[in-house]
């Protein structure tokens, strides 16, 4: 086959490969560039946005396999990765600019929602995405404590300036009230503060806004669903039967507010003794996986009990303990699974409205 024919076949094969962010054909989005062909050997550049950065290399491998399987006579294909810019749109009436808004929730207190929300946010940022973290637990904000953040947000040009963990913007009621001060909230105040956090904070352009939900999330979930299109919820549960029953309640609650379930994470799933390497399934194991199967939601992975995670978060050092590769690994797996779950939903329902560059 001539290189000209090969080129035609490659372009045709590109038609049926979808950009994971928009669900649009890669042949139409201008994200595959710099083709070169010689004697059946091809090279090109695949350009993906920072939203897709956490799974960029697997998307490149999928594209490679896709082209190989469809184009006979293609001897090899080398795909370079590069960045593609596509700004997020404003969401709802509130002007927040984010590509995905994710609520991290559970039916039960103390299962690790805040730990997971903060760790997923930090991990997605580490993997190349633009991320913000919002603590929606206005009664008992714990994000500032976990991340060792303090200070009062300033107002600049009538926007609340978030406090940053490294470069990541974070907003929490914990920055606005004195520590240990009891906050007595009435429903409308709760609604008002969540609205302010979303609308009046200088978040910048985000790929992901991760929201740490309070326990028993009814009110906040309802408020969120009224303010903006929430991409979905991540349900955290521990392996005990009772936690799974409570996860069921959270799922029902999100269904009522029409917020999709993006997946379930099993936290405190087994404990590995650092001395002997032996694993103990203290609370049991695998319940979340079967719950996910039962409701046909993705299972996003397991996070084991890790002593350093608890002790360091209590000292405000969650961000530094996540630099330990052994601690970080399960969160990377969960974060990538979450990005896959989001892109799978997009693929099922491509974004018609996204503005695309003209080729």
Ligand X SMILES: Nc1ncnc2c1ncn2[C@@H]1O[C@H](COP(=O)(O)OP(=O)(O)OP(=O)(O)O)[C@@H](O)[C@H]1O
Report the alpha-carbon distance of residue 356 to residue 358 in Å, rounded: 6
Phi-psi region of 29 (alpha: psi -120 to 50; beta: other; left: phi over 0): alpha
Q: Does 114 interact with Mg ion (rule: CB under 5 A)? A: yes
Instruction: Give the residue with the Cβ less far from ligand X, 49 or 313.
Output: 313
Cβ 328 to ligand X shortest distance, Å: 12
Q: Taking the CB of residue 355, how many other CB atoms lie within 10 A of it?
A: 9
**Residues 335 and 120: beta-carbon distance below 8 Å:** yes
Q: Does 305 interact with ligand X (rule: CB under 6 A)? A: yes
∠ CA 324-100-106, nearest 5°, is 65
Which member of 215, 248, 286, 350 binds ligand X (CB under 6 A)? 215
Q: Does 267 interact with ligand X (rule: CB under 6 A)? A: yes
From 79-87, 139-147, 192-200, 234-242, give the range in contact with Mg ion by CB under 5 A: 139-147
Q: Which does 129 bind (CB under 5 to 8 A by kind): Mg ion, ligand X, none?
A: none
**Residues 81 and 48: beta-carbon distance below 8 Å:** yes
Which member of 26, 63, 111, 334 binds ligand X (CB under 6 A)? 111
Report the alpha-carbon distance of residue 66 to residue 39 in Å, rounded: 20
From 88-96, 201-209, 255-263, 306-314, give the range in contact with ligand X by CB under 6 A: 306-314
Instruction: Give the residue with the Cβ less far from ligand X, 112 or 298.
Output: 112
Name the residue number minimizing CB distance to Mg ion.
114
Which residues within the stretch 286-345 sit at the binding site for Mg ion (CB under 5 A)?
none
Cβ 331 to ligand X shortest distance, Å: 9
Phi-psi region of 92 (alpha: psi -120 to 50; beta: other; left: phi over 0): left
Which residues within the stretch 136-165 sit at the binding site for ligand X (CB under 6 A)?
137, 140, 142
Q: Which does 231 bind (CB under 5 to 8 A by kind): Mg ion, ligand X, none?
A: none
Distances (CA, A) of 234 to 103, 140, 302, 327, 334: 6, 20, 13, 20, 10
CA atoms within 13 A on the CB side of 157: 2
Q: Does 115 interact with ligand X (rule: CB under 6 A)? A: yes
Nearest to 301 by CA among 292, 312, 314, 310: 292
Instruction: Give the residue with the Cβ less far from ligand X, 209 or 236.
Output: 236
Q: Does 112 interact with ligand X (rule: CB under 6 A)? A: yes
Which residues of the chain form contacts with Mg ion (CB under 5 A)? 113-114, 142
């Amino acid at each position: 086959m001539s290189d000209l024919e090969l080129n035609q076949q490659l372009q045709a094969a590109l038609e049926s490969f979808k950009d994971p962010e928009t669900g649009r054909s890669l042949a139409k989005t201008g994200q595959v560039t710099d083709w070169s062909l010689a004697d059946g050997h091809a090279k090109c550049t695949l350009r993906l946005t920072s939203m897709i950065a956490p799974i960029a290399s697997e998307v490149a491998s999928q594209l490679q396999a896709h082209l190989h399987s469809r184009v006979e006579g293609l001897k090899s294909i080398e795909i370079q990765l590069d960045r593609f810019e596509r700004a997020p749109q404003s969401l709802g009436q509130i002007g927040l600019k984010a590509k995905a808004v994710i609520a991290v929730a559970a039916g039960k207190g103390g299962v690790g929602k805040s730990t997971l929300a903060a760790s997923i946010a930090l991990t997605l940022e580490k993997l190349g995405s633009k991320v913000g973290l919002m603590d929606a637990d206005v009664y008992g904000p714990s994000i500032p404590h976990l991340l060792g953040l303090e200070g009062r947000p300033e107002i600049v040009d009538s926007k609340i300036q978030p406090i940053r963990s490294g470069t990541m913007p974070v907003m929490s009621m914990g920055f606005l009230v004195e520590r240990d001060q009891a906050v007595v909230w009435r429903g409308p105040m709760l609604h008002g503060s969540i609205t302010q956090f979303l609308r009046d904070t200088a978040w910048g352009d985000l790929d992901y806004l991760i929201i740490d939900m309070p326990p028993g999330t009814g009110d906040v979930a309802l408020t969120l669903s009224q303010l903006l299109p929430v991409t979905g919820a991540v349900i955290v549960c521990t392996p005990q039967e009772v936690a799974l029953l409570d996860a069921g309640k959270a799922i029902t609650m999100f269904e009522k507010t029409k917020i999709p379930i993006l997946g379930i994470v099993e936290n405190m799933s087994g404990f590995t003794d650092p001395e002997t390497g032996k694993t103990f399934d203290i609370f049991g194991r695998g319940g979340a996986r079967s719950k996910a199967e039962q409701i046909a939601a993705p299972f996003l992975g397991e996070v084991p009990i890790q002593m350093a995670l608890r002790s360091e978060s209590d000292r405000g050092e969650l961000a530094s303990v996540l630099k330990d590769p052994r601690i970080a690994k399960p969160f990377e797996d969960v974060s990538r699974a979450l990005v896959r779950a989001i892109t799978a939903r997009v693929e099922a329902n491509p974004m018609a409205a996204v503005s695309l560059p003209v080729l």
